[in-house]
Structure 1
Amino acid sequence: MRKITFLVLAALVGFMPGASAQKKKSVAANGEVVIYFARHGKTILNTMDRVQGWADTPLTPAGVEVAEYLGEGLQSENIQFKAAYSSDLGRARQTARIVLDNKGQANLPITEVAQLRETNFGSYEGDLNGKMWGDAALYLHYKSAQELFADMEQKPELLKSAIASFKALETLGIGEDYDQVKARGQKAIREIAAKEAANGGGNILIVGHGMSIGVFLSDIDSNGKKPSANHMGNAAVCKVIYKDGKFSLESFGDMSYVEKGKSTRTNK
């Protein structure tokens, strides 16, 4: 969603030395689960700067390419997944399959989880981002979306009010608020983490969506660590560790895997 996506997310907040390092990255000890959350690749609606929550469009050629880079970057780091999940929206499912195919795990199945979807924006789905955010700004007594964004940079908690305004203003009666998105997503994440821990732990891939991943991870860290205010680009990764029933947020919006994959392909 270009600049708007950046501001929304801002409000929210290979080298292989030997077999021992390979084992460490591919199999976690003592049931520890290492979750790699990835945002989907760029889509048609992303490119058109239109609202894309539960509405869905396929990846563009650039979106396919960045997902390929992510897969190759993960492979260059020798990260092997024991399980893979995605939201049930096509762009997430498509991205997950491309990532796995390009990191040498084409046979790993993907489990679709509806609760990992993006926020539902109701009647704003498919509309211009500028229209939705402009309406929200006026509803919240700002002169413009730009004024709202500027305030959100200083007061990240305003995102909750902004999403509430989308729900209040959309006309289909199906929009979600911040707490609804967080509750469904965190429930799914806890269930996935507990299941994979019981299966011995290891590395897990979850492919989802820019805004909702930020909401899911907003307060999941047991020590109170918040997601950074960095832009979460297409195919960016957030790393979370789950151990003994607690989550630890290790990184947010990391594009280094994509860059490594791009570099690996360029140097072939």
Structure 2
Amino acid sequence: MPAPGTLLLLRHGQSALNAQDRFTGLLDPPLTRAGEEEAARAGALLASEAFVPETVYTSALSRTRDTARILLDVLGDPEVPVVPAWELNERSYGSLTGGLREELLSELGPEVFHFWRRSYYGAPPPMPSSQLAELRRSPAFAGLPPEAVQATESLCGVVKRVRIFWHQHLRRRLRAGEDVLVVGHGNSLRALCRVLDRLSDAEVESLNIPTGHPLLYRFTPDLAPMVRGGEYLNPLAARTAAALVAAAGGT
């Protein structure tokens, strides 16, 4: 049996709605120029580590697919297969979707805002049915099952779908010795870290993953992480960026 492969996690580069400090969720904005630069820097970091994935998984949303494309161009290996998977989509933020964080914090108060945004089991009120129908008709979700676009979702719900994806896809490739890159979102990657590291509710609630900073996992033969929490390729820059995310209220 070959040694397990390596898994690299990357949160997509900054999107246009990230830059406006809005709840993006299942909306599909493009990367900003800064987000494209983050993707390119991530590609340069992978090149410096001689890490070339054999498979790249993204979500169904364009900000992850574009991040992967830019990164692979920097690596000089654009033929690596890129596989979109709705299970890696960002969390549905329900009625908060598209809203400005600062305005919603003022309107809801810190306790409700934190419960809906950061708690493990809390989910915002569902988005209006018209907005849900519009999302389901959008190109990003064409042909996907109804569960790919939910009216609202808790982080616990994201963990459930990501855990299934881990067992059905990632474990198999890693056991076969493949090196895999996952380009996801703040919440889908937090969910995957919950599965990999067996994080407690409190640990996953406090976890922040910054955009554009590659996080590397190496595994024992039974696919336990050698380092709990993984290792950022640029740890100092990643810690600084994660602290900024935390100061802004979290991923």
Q: Give the TM-score band, short-chain normalised.
A: 0.7 to 0.9
- 2:120 pairs, out of 160, 170, 179, with 160
TM-fit CA distance, 1:242: 4.7
Cα distance in structure 2, aligned partners of 1:192 and 1:242: 16
TM-fit CA distance, 1:189: 2.1
Runs of 4+ in 1 over 6 A off after TM superposition: none
Amino acid at match of 1:236: H
Equivalent residue number for residue 84 of structure 1: 56
Cα distance in structure 2, aligned partners of 1:257 and 1:108: 26
Is this contact kept in 2: 1:70–1:258, CA < 8 A?
no
- 2:84 pairs, out of 95, 98, 112, with 112
Equivalent residue number for residue 48 of structure 1: 20
**Structure 1 residue 175 corresponds to structure 2 residue 152:** yes
1:3-40 CA-to-partner distances (Å, cap 9, x unmatched) read xxxxxxxxxxxxxxxxxxxxxxxxxx824021101000
Cα distance in structure 2, aligned partners of 1:237 and 1:227: 18
Cα distance in structure 2, aligned partners of 1:182 and 1:107: 30
TM-fit CA distance, 1:257: 8.2
Structure 1 residues 223 and 68, CA, compared in 2 at 3 Å: closer, same or farther? Answer: closer
Structure 1 residues 227 and 236, CA, compared in 2 at 3 Å: closer, same or farther? Answer: farther
**Structure 1 residue 238 corresponds to structure 2 residue 215:** yes
SS in structure 1 of the partner of residue 183 of structure 2: strand
Is this contact kept in 1: 2:14–2:34, CA < 8 A?
yes
SS in structure 2 of the partner of residue 217 of structure 1: helix
TM-fit CA distance, 1:134: 4.7
Amino acid at match of 2:85: V
Structure 2, unmatched stretches of 5+, are 130-149, 238-251
SS in structure 2 of the partner of residue 246 of structure 1: coil
- 1:256 pairs, out of 220, 234, 243, with 234
SS in structure 1 of the partner of residue 75 of structure 2: coil
SS in structure 1 of the partner of residue 6 of structure 2: strand
Is this contact kept in 2: 1:34–1:204, CA < 8 A?
yes
TM-score under structure 2 length normalisation: 0.73
Cα distance in structure 1, aligned partners of 2:236 and 2:73: 15
Paired-residue identity, %: 25
Structure 1, unmatched stretches of 5+, are 1-28, 150-157, 260-268
Equivalent residue number for residue 195 of structure 1: 172
Structure 1 residues 30 and 195, CA, compared in 2 at 3 Å: closer, same or farther? Answer: same
- 2:184 pairs, out of 208, 227, 247, with 208
Amino acid at match of 2:48: S
Q: Which has the larger radius of gyration?
A: 1
Cα distance in structure 2, aligned partners of 1:237 and 1:59: 17
Structure 1 residues 68 and 243, CA, compared in 2 at 3 Å: closer, same or farther? Answer: same
TM-fit CA distance, 1:217: 1.4
SS in structure 2 of the partner of residue 111 of structure 1: strand
Correspondence list, 1:111-130, <5 A: 111-130=83-102
Cα distance in structure 1, aligned partners of 2:25 and 2:89: 8
TM-score under structure 1 length normalisation: 0.68
CA RMSD after TM alignment: 3.4
SS in structure 1 of the partner of residue 30 of structure 2: coil
Q: Structure 1 or 2: larger strand share?
A: 1
**Structure with greater contact order relative to length (CA < 8 Å, sep ≥ 6):** 1
Amino acid at match of 1:215: A
Structure 1 residues 223 and 208, CA, compared in 2 at 3 Å: closer, same or farther? Answer: closer
Amino acid at match of 1:176: E
Structure 1 residues 222 and 49, CA, compared in 2 at 3 Å: closer, same or farther? Answer: closer
TM-fit CA distance, 1:212: 2.3
SS in structure 1 of the partner of residue 54 of structure 2: strand
TM-fit CA distance, 1:127: 1.1
TM-fit CA distance, 1:216: 2.6
SS in structure 1 of the partner of residue 10 of structure 2: strand
